Structure 1
Amino acid sequence: MVAALAGVSRATVSRVVNDSPSVDPQRARAVRDAIAELNYVPNRAARSLASRRTQAVTLVLPESTSKVFTDPFFASVIEGIAGYLAETEYTLTMILSSESTPDKTRRYLLGGNVDGALVVSHHSGDDSWARVSGSLPVVFAGRPLVGEAGSHYVEVENESGAATATDLLLSRGRRNIATIAGPQDMSAGIDRLAGWRRALARAGLDSSRVEFGDFSPASGAAAMRRLLARGAPIDGLFVASAQMAAGAYSVLESHSLRIPGDVAVVGFDDDEFAAALTPALTTVHHPVTRLGARMAETLVALIEGRPVERVTRLGTSLILRGSA
């Protein structure tokens, strides 16, 4: 109908709809006028049958609903993903996949519903996503601890960022430096702990002052209480997330320990928690929005068969504030 109204062939209409530059401008204008008059919209289902693509990708978040909607990390990474995809023909869906639903999620992903998946906040105990990546383009946020060799992922320089944070504490004259490390079933938790240890090893200092959290404020508070209960002196603290630093602050204050006078503190992430603390948190800046955009860019390239780097690492920077 569009072709008949515009006085051109169906092939010409197809080229105009697909933004081909090869169509004569006058003919292209006639086709667009006909499209507007007929309120024509390309049939996505028919296109999908022809191209074997759905023009849809899914963001998989293997975390609880409460964590996803309270942690600013997830909002920022989604912002980056959505911002990149807005400039493409791909639509974004999201799945919150708890420990009880990985099989359901895997069936959906492999059922022809999407062209690819983005997986954020995965843990080493779940190999579901590594198995999916053998049949569907998948890009991870952070190095997957299962199936790393063949996986595509985007991550920040977690280890070097943590080492830089610890070096700052050393430059401030701190020698009894503890850490509240992240979960050791996630690459970010592992690498940030390794960076702290590397910096202390270079300085020839003790690296036994370690407690662990799950990146939440409550876990940071609990870890800080355990560190203080040991009785070993602490004059510096590297915390693997700004949220855990917020929890540590409350415990230090309850013990009448001044920041940075008694304990200098450096965190990681530079999210909304960091600037809201008093004193504001010196922290490693984690470019989360850019990470999300690069994940989406990598996935679209994989779907479309374009060459792309398997591993992308984004640099970090140190944001100096009042805590160290």
Structure 2
Amino acid sequence: MQLNQGVVLAIHSTGIAVRGMQLNQGVVLATYSAGIAVRCMQLNQGVVLATYSAGIAVRCMQLNQGGVLAIYSAGIAVRCMQLNQGGVLATYSAGIAVRGMQLNQGGVLATYSAGIAVRGMQLNQGGVLATYSTGIAVRGMQLNQGGVLAIYSTGIAVRCMQLNQGGVLATYSAGIAVRGMQLNQGVVLATYSTGIAVRCMQLNQGVVLATYSTGIAVRGMQLNQGVVLAIHSTGIALRGMQLNQGVVLAIHSTGIAVRGMQLNQGGVLATYSAGIAVRCMQLNQGGVLATYSAGIAVRGMQLNQGGVLATYSAGIAVRGMQLNQGVVLATYSTGIAVRGM
């Protein structure tokens, strides 16, 4: 495999087992980070993988992060749908299970909102859904929310539908697994973001590349910087694709691993943002994904976020997908085991 470290690999970091893949670290891999087992895939860390972060097992995939994934965020499972965030999804938002429908949030969904079970219908909210409302289970319908989804809301499970959020998704939001899509960010990529690993694309930056920026590995592509890539930004690994940043890529920004897709950042990607796994879909961030938002698992859909994804997002274990980290994977982040997504 190919192993590239942008900054310090680790202080007392422990056993990284990797087979048949490319492992790239943008900044510090970990302080007392624990065993990362990865097979047949490309693993890239955006910033610091973890301080006491626990084992991230990933196989045959590429994980890409668009913004800050989370602060202690947890797994969002979503399949065959389009996920777009326009407002705030949730702080401690809880499990929204939705299948075969379109979920759009225009206003506030809920603070501790409770279980709305709806099947084969169209659910639209114009104002606040609830205080202390929880788990919205919806199948074969269109769910639209006008404001914020939730505070303390968690795990949004969505299949075969379109999920759109108007504001911030969450802080403490966790792992967005997505396959085969286009990842675009509207603001700044990150502070402390590091090593952008990208294959088969074109990387263009609008400002300065970096102060203390380190090893830019690029193959078969065009790399242009228009703005500031980063201060202490590290190893940008890019292969055969187009990466465009509208503002500042990052201060200590780290490794964005992307394969066969277009990654564009319009706003701020993240401070300590963590792993977005996405395949066969388009991932766009418009606002903040979440505070303590939980794991969005998504397959064959379009995921769009308006702002920052998250701070202190935690460990995403995924098999047979594309794993890329835009900023910090996690501080005390722990293992999200996901298979076949």
TM-score by structure 1 length?
0.22
TM-score by structure 2 length?
0.21
Larger radius of gyration: 1
